[in-house]
Chains A and B, each alone.
Chain A
Amino acid sequence: MSGLGPHAAYILASYALAAIIVGGLVIHAVLDYRTQRAALQRLEASGTRRRSAGPVTGPQA
Chain B
Amino acid sequence: MIRYANPTRFLGLASWLIPALAGLAALTLAVGLWMVFAVAPADYQQGETVRIMYIHVPAAWLAMGCYTLMALSAIGTLVWRHPLADVSQKAAAPLGAAFTALCLVTGSLWGKPMWGTWWVWDARLTSVLVLFLMYCGVMALWNAIEDPARAGRAVSILTLVGFINIPIVKFSVDWWNTLHQPASVIRLSGPTIDPSMLWPLLVMAVGASLLFIALHLMGMRNEILRRRVRTLGLLAAQREDTAAGLAEAGPTR
Contacts and interface: CB of A to CB of B under 8 A. Distances in A.
Interface of A: 3-5, 7-8, 10-11, 13-15, 17-18, 21-22, 24-26, 29-30, 32-33, 36-37, 39-40, 43-44, 46, 48-50
A21 B98 contact: yes
Contacts of B222: 29, 32-33, 36
B232 interface: yes
Interface of B: 42, 47-49, 51-52, 55-56, 59, 94-95, 98-99, 101-102, 105-106, 109-110, 112-113, 211, 215, 218-219, 221-222, 225-226, 228-229, 231-233, 235-236, 239
A18 B48 CA distance: 18
B211 A50 contact: no
Given A4-B48, A4-B51, A39-B229, A14 B236 contact: no
Main secondary structure of the interface of B (DSSP, over half): helix
Contact of B106 (A4, A18, A33, A48): A18
Given A11-B48, A11-B52, A37-B225, A21 B233 contact: no
B229 A7 contact: no
A36 B221 CA distance: 10
22 contacts: A4-B48, A5-B48, A10-B113, A11-B49, A14-B55, A14-B106, A17-B106, A17-B109, A18-B55, A18-B106, A21-B98, A21-B101, A21-B102, A22-B211, A30-B218, A36-B225, A40-B228, A40-B229, A40-B232, A43-B229, A49-B232, A50-B232
